[in-house]
Amino acid sequence: MKILLVGLSHRSAPVELRERFAIDAPEPILAKLVAADEIDEAFLLSTCNRTEALVLTRRPEAARHRLRSLFARELAGEDVSPGAVEKALYEYTDSRAMQHVFRVAASLDSMVVGEPQILGQVKDAYRAAAGAGATGVILGRLLNRAFATAKRVRSETRIAERPLSVARVAVDLARQIFESLEGKRALLVGAGDMGEIALEALRAEGLRELCVANRTPERARALAERFGARASGFDALPALLEAADVVLTSVGGGEPVLTPQMVAAAMHGRGHRPMFVIDIGVPRNVDPAVNEIAAVYLYDIDDLDRVASANAEQRRREVERAEAIVQEEQQRFDGWLAALRAVPTIRHLRARGEAVRQGELERFLRRNNLGPEQREALEALTRAIVNKLLHAPVSRLRAEAETEEGLAYLEAARVLFALDDPGAPGAEADARVDDAEDE
Partner 1 sequence: MIALLQLAAALYLASGIAGGFAVALGGAGAGRAALALLGVGVAAHTASFVALHAVEPTPQLTQIPLAVSLMAWMVVLAFLAFARRARLGGLVVAVGPVAFLGSFFAALRTPHAPEADLMGAGSWPHAHVLLASSGLALLAVAAIAGSVFLLENRRLKRKSLHPARRGGGLPSLETLDRVNAVALAVGFPLLSLGVLTGALWLHAARGVLWTGAAHEAWNALAWLIYAVLAAARFAGHQGARDAAVSAVAGFAFLLFAVVGVGLLA
299 contributes a contact to partner 1 by CB under 8 A: yes
Distance from C-alpha of 215 to C-alpha of 213, rounded to nearest angstrom: 7
Tell how far CA 208 is from the center of its chain. 33
209 contributes a contact to partner 1 by CB under 8 A: no
Check 1, 22, 48, 377 and give the catalytic one.
Answer: 48
Q: Which of residues 311-330 bind partner 1 (CB under 8 A)?
A: 311, 313-314
Distance from C-alpha of 379 to C-alpha of 357, rounded to nearest angstrom: 9
The nearest distance, CB 310 to partner 1, in angstroms, is 5
246 contributes a contact to partner 1 by CB under 8 A: no
168 contributes a contact to partner 1 by CB under 8 A: no
158 contributes a contact to partner 1 by CB under 8 A: yes
161 contributes a contact to partner 1 by CB under 8 A: yes
The nearest distance, CB 296 to partner 1, in angstroms, is 9
Which region among 103-111, 222-230, 265-273, 422-430 touches partner 1 (by CB under 8 A)? 265-273
Q: Do the Cβ atoms of 301 and 280 come closer than 8 Å?
A: yes
Q: How many CB atoms lie within 10 A of CB 299?
A: 22
295 contributes a contact to partner 1 by CB under 8 A: yes
Q: Do the Cβ atoms of 398 and 339 come closer than 8 Å?
A: yes
Q: Please confirm, yes or no, whether 48 is among the known catalytic residues.
A: yes
Q: For partner 1, which is the closer residue by CB, 273 or 367?
A: 273
The nearest distance, CB 137 to partner 1, in angstroms, is 34
Q: Which segments of 286-418 are extended strands (E)?
A: 296-300
Q: For partner 1, which is the closer residue by CB, 314 or 358?
A: 314
Which region among 99-107, 173-181, 203-211, 382-390 touches partner 1 (by CB under 8 A)? 173-181
The nearest distance, CB 246 to partner 1, in angstroms, is 12
- Cα torsion 29, 30, 34, 40: sign: positive
297 contributes a contact to partner 1 by CB under 8 A: yes
Residue 306's alpha-carbon distances to 261, 300, 302, 310, in angstroms, are 28, 10, 6, 6
Residue 428's alpha-carbon distances to 231, 355, 417, in angstroms, are 88, 8, 14
178 contributes a contact to partner 1 by CB under 8 A: yes
274 contributes a contact to partner 1 by CB under 8 A: yes
Q: Which segments of 183-293 are extended strands (E)?
A: 185-189, 209-213, 230-232, 246-249, 275-279
The nearest distance, CB 287 to partner 1, in angstroms, is 16
CB burial readout 222-244, b (16+ within 10 A) else e: ebbeebebbbbebeebeebbbeb
Q: Which of 176, 235, 435, 438 binds partner 1 (CB under 8 A)?
A: 176
Q: Which of 208, 272, 316, 432 binds partner 1 (CB under 8 A)?
A: 272
165 contributes a contact to partner 1 by CB under 8 A: no
CB burial readout 101-129, b (16+ within 10 A) else e: bbbbbbbbbbebbbeeebbebbbebbebb
The nearest distance, CB 177 to partner 1, in angstroms, is 5
Binding site for partner 1 (CB under 8 A): 158, 161-162, 173, 175-179, 271-274, 291, 294-295, 297, 299, 303, 306-307, 310-311, 313-314
By annotation, the residues acting in catalysis are 48
